[in-house]
Amino acid sequence: MLVSVLRSSVALADVSLESVEPPAARREAVRNARRELKAVRAIAPLCRSARDDAAIDGVLEFTGKANQLLGPLRDRDALARSIQRIADRFADLSTRRVVRTVLLATLVFAESDRRDDAAYATASIDRARRALRSARHAAARLGDGDVFDGLHASALVFRTFRACGDELEAALRSSDLARLHECRKKATFIALALRPFEDEVPAALRRLRARAKRLAAALGEDRDFALLEVEMTAARTQLAGSPLAAAIDDALRLARLESGARVESSAQDFLRLRRGRVRRALGELFGAA
DSSP classification of residue 147: -
pTM of the model: 0.88
What is the model's pLDDT at position 146?
A: 55
DSSP classification of residue 274: -
Q: 18-26 contacts: CB < 8 A, separation 24 or more?
A: 20/121, 20/122, 20/125, 23/118, 26/73, 26/121, 26/125
Question: Closest Cα partner for 46 from 151, 197, 145?
Answer: 151
pLDDT tens per residue across span 197-219: 888 889 999 999 999 999 999 99
Alpha-carbon gap, residue 85 to 83, rounded angstroms: 5
Alpha-carbon gap, residue 222 to 70, rounded angstroms: 21
Greatest alpha-carbon pair distance for the chain in Å reads: 66
What is the model's pLDDT at position 253?
A: 93
Cβ partners under 8 Å of residue 70, min gap 6: 30, 33, 34, 37, 124, 125, 128
User: Which CA distances in Å does 164 have to 148, 152, 167, 222?
Assistant: 24, 18, 5, 17
Question: Exposure pattern of 35-44 as b/e (b: 16+ CB <10 Å)?
Answer: ebbbbbbbbb
SS (H, E, C) 99-137: HHHHHHHHHHCCCCCHHHHHHHHHHHHHHHHHHHHHHHH
User: Which CA distances in Å does 26 have to 7, 22, 124, 125?
Assistant: 23, 6, 12, 9
CA 281 to centroid of chain Cα atoms: 25
CB 63 within 8 A of CB 41: yes
Alpha-carbon gap, residue 122 to 127, rounded angstroms: 9
Q: Tens place of pLDDT for every residue, the chain, 289 residues?
A: 788 899 999 999 999 999 878 888 888 999 999 999 999 999 999 887 655 678 899 999 999 999 999 998 988 888 889 999 999 999 889 999 999 888 888 777 655 555 567 788 889 999 999 999 999 999 988 876 555 678 889 999 999 999 999 999 999 888 787 888 889 999 999 999 999 988 888 999 999 999 999 999 999 999 999 889 888 887 788 777 788 888 999 999 999 999 999 999 999 999 999 999 999 999 999 886 6
User: Which CA distances in Å does 38 have to 10, 56, 64, 71, 193?
Assistant: 10, 15, 9, 12, 10
